[in-house]
Structure 1
Amino acid sequence: MSKSFQDRLKVLVVEDNDLNAKFASAILKRLNYELDWVTDGKAGVEKFLENDYDLILMDIQMPIMNGLEATREIRKYEKQMETAHPIPIIAITAFAFEHDKENCLAAGMDDYLTKPYRPQELIEVIKKYFPDK
């Protein structure tokens, strides 16, 4: 975790659906988190490389590069950079079968949240990784 606990959590939302992104953004803003939003996995990887994020919320099915591919790329870069604490990546997806969850975790994601979700569900999954924020 790159930031001190006095700083606001900085979150990257990688989501191609405007409504879903606005829903997540409203929750994150209510928690006073900073956020950036991109609409495809390739842009998500680029943002990750350009900025210092604490957390990534990653959709799975997106144009250009899907969330599984983007996560694999991010994990590859972290390994090359010998990152001590890999960034938590939370899958946010409509794919709700057990094998979908397994695919997300196998790609390097840390957790999994199924759409549609309630605000409290998103807050709870974030608090697992950042209990003091």
Structure 2
Amino acid sequence: MKLLRGFLWLLGFQLLGHVVVELLSLPVSHAMAGLLLLLAWLLVKRRLNESVATASQALIPLLAMLIMPGVVGVFFVIDEFAGHWTAVMVALAVGTFLSVLTTLWLMWRFMPREAANMDERNPRA
């Protein structure tokens, strides 16, 4: 039941993001607006909703499948990129680098210190 409740929370924020984007004519995807609203809600509450955490953990293994439709959709608009391949490649390289850098910073920021110290003492682990 906790998993279903978590999915309903996530879908509710996605729907709320859809409404906000449409009402304000924002140049942001509906899902991204919903995630930003969810982030704001979690920051205001200052604690993680257990149902949302359970649903989120269930979605992590499916992340590649959730990204796949957008990647496949590029093939339908491939002609739009003619003459812009340099910009596309630079954007992909810079975006990937910034994504990896952000992930590394977040790991350093939020990883428990005793786990980090244990890895330094035992390099085989």
Higher strand share: 1
Larger radius of gyration: 2
Which TM-score band applies after superposition, normalised by the shorter structure? under 0.3
TM-score where L is the length of structure 1 = 0.23
In the superposition, the TM-score normalised over structure 2's length comes to 0.24
